[in-house]
């Protein structure tokens, strides 16, 4: 899971030891694990949204520098079940 030196990058870009990020999961209660999973999921969603905002800003800036206007649409989400394979 972790790289060979057991470090990861913190929110501000600095390295943190895995022990600082991940408590002893075997000792955590089910509720503590659920809270940890939710917090991690929320953090990943925030990071993903920020990366998308930054990418869109770069695209708009580059287009503007070349005298272009761009529209960025998010892809439509498919609803329902996928078709059955026969």
Domain spans in the chain, listed from the N-terminal domain onward: 28-72
| pLDDT of 19 higher than 70 | no
HSE-up (13 A, CA, CB side) for residue 13: 0
Give the three-class secondary structure for 8: strand
**67-to-14, 27, 38, 52, 64 alpha-carbon distances in Å:** 38, 58, 43, 22, 5
Dig out the tokens for 63 from the structure: 């287009």
Both structure tokens of 80: 């329902």
Greater confidence (16 vs 79) lies with: 79
| Position with higher pLDDT, 71 vs 22 | 71
Indicate if the pLDDT at residue 1 is higher than 50: no
What's the predicted TM-score (pTM) here? 0.57
| Structure-model confidence comparison of residues 37 and 86, the more confident one | 37
Q: Which two tokens stand for residue 19?
A: 């022990």
60 CB-contact burial (10 Å; exposed 0-12 / middle 13-18 / buried 19+) = middle
């Amino acid at each position: 899971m972790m790289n060979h030196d057991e470090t990861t990058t913190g929110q501000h870009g600095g390295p943190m030891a895995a022990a600082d990020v991940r408590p002893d999961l075997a000792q955590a209660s089910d509720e503590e694990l659920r809270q940890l999973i939710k917090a991690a999921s929320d953090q990943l969603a925030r990071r993903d949204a920020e990366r998308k905002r930054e990418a869109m800003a770069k695209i708009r800036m580059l287009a503007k520098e070349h005298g272009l206007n761009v529209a960025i649409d998010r892809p439509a989400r498919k609803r329902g079940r996928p078709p059955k394979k026969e």
